[in-house]
Amino acid sequence: MPSRLIPFFALLVSFSVSNLAISQMIVGHRGASYDAPENTLAAFQLAWDQNADGIEGDFYLTRDAKIVCIHDRDTKRTTGANLRVEDSTLAELRKLDAGQWKDPKWDSERIPTFAEVLQTVPEGRTFVIEIKSDRKLVPHLKTELDRLDHSKIKLLIICFDEHVIADCKRLLPEVKAHWLTGFKQNKDTQAWSPTADHISKVVKRSGADGVGMQGQTRVINADFIDSLKQNECDEFHVWTINSATDAKFFASLGAFGITTDRPAMIRDALEPVASR
């Protein structure tokens, strides 16, 4: 290639990657959880303020059959009080301070309900619902979605349990769902699991619309994604990406969504210079 053409082709590649990148959905992981206490209304509102395309929240069912937003099985890490969520009532959980662990300025934050989180979602944006409870939560989720107006927003259900995903696709077939998976490396063989073939089989078996994968750059590459697509698993998102370099890499592979604790930083990394 003539040397005078090299800058032109470098510019062309950069332009192509930039234009691909802006199509990725940027999702605030538990809200803008780098800056605000995770899974609180403050964190979700901050994610919208940071121009996130979506928010992801974690949901458990309480003893009195209310759906609340919290990541852990108990409240110890984020409130200081040690209550098991599924053994507690909504009223008991509402008494807890869910923000001060992050910073005293957040001491007014409480554990929100599913409905409260949904109501923060602006028109046209996406609400990613991670089910942390087992299958018993799904009928209650359907009841809530039947009751609440979500006609102007997008929904995506995610879960590590393929049986929960199967139940969601049976009871809520119109709602998109992704099966979640992390990756583990065998210390003896150095092989990573699950394989692309296994992921595709679970997606197909559960009726999922795609997969949400841990953003492990030692596993996920163009060949891995090609293997997924060859097995009819065409849609994937990655979590939790807090590196601009990793975000650009997964965008270049065609990720449907990039989940991050830092929506503003990732958007800034992915947006073409010309659009700023």
Alpha carbon distance 35, 43 (integer Å): 8
Q: What is the pLDDT of residue 3?
A: 47
Q: How confident is the model at residue 228 (pLDDT cuts 50, 70, 90)?
A: very high
Residue 42 lies in a domain: yes
Alpha carbon distance 264, 254 (integer Å): 20
Is residue 135's pLDDT more than 60? yes
How distant, in Å, are the alpha carbons of 52, 59, 72, 119, 176 from that of 75? Answer: 27, 13, 7, 23, 29
Q: What is the pLDDT of residue 21?
A: 39
Residue 2 lies in a domain: no
CB count in 10 Å sphere of residue 143: 13
Residue 128 lies in a domain: yes
Alpha carbon distance 67, 80 (integer Å): 21
Alpha carbon distance 222, 219 (integer Å): 10
In a 10 Å sphere around its CB, with 0-12 CB exposed, 13-18 middle and 19+ buried, how is residue 221 labelled? Answer: exposed
Cα–Cα nearest to 229, from 247, 249, 193, 254: 254
How distant, in Å, are the alpha carbons of 38, 239, 264 from that of 216? Answer: 22, 9, 22
Residue 39 belongs to domain spanning: 23-275
Cα–Cα nearest to 130, from 81, 84, 68: 68
Amino acid sitting at position 95: K
Residue 1 lies in a domain: no
Cα–Cα nearest to 28, from 6, 8, 54, 9: 54
Q: What is the pLDDT of residue 275?
A: 55
Q: How confident is the model at residue 22 (pLDDT cuts 50, 70, 90)?
A: low
Arithmetic mean of pLDDT, 53-71: 99
Do 76 and 68 meet the contact criterion of CB atoms below 8 Å apart? no
How distant, in Å, are the alpha carbons of 151, 206, 213 from that of 170? Answer: 20, 10, 23
Residue 124 lies in a domain: yes
Q: How confident is the model at residue 6 (pLDDT cuts 50, 70, 90)?
A: very low
In a 10 Å sphere around its CB, with 0-12 CB exposed, 13-18 middle and 19+ buried, how is residue 45 labelled? Answer: middle
Arithmetic mean of pLDDT, 249-257: 98
Do 63 and 89 meet the contact criterion of CB atoms below 8 Å apart? yes
Q: How does pLDDT run across 175-223, given as a tens digit for each residue?
A: 999 999 999 999 999 999 999 999 999 999 999 999 999 999 999 999 9
How distant, in Å, are the alpha carbons of 120, 184, 217 from that of 231? Answer: 37, 22, 21
Count of domains forming the chain: 1
Q: What is the pLDDT of residue 273?
A: 43
Pairing of strands 67-69, 54-61: antiparallel
Q: Using alpha carbons only, how large is the chain's radius of gyration in Å?
A: 20
Please state the pTM of the whole predicted model: 0.91
Residue 154 lies in a domain: yes
Residue 99 lies in a domain: yes
- As a whole number, the mean pLDDT across the chain is 93
Q: Label each residue of 161-225 as H, E or C.
A: CHHHHHHHHHHCCCCEEEEEECCEECCCCCCEECCHHHHHHHHHHHCCCEEEEECCCCCCCHHHH
Q: How does pLDDT run across 83-133, given as a tens digit for each residue?
A: 999 999 999 999 999 999 999 999 999 999 999 999 999 999 999 999 999
Residue listed under structure tokens 């969504």: 257
Residue 6 lies in a domain: no
Q: What is the pLDDT of residue 15?
A: 42
CATH, residue 70 = 3.20.20.190
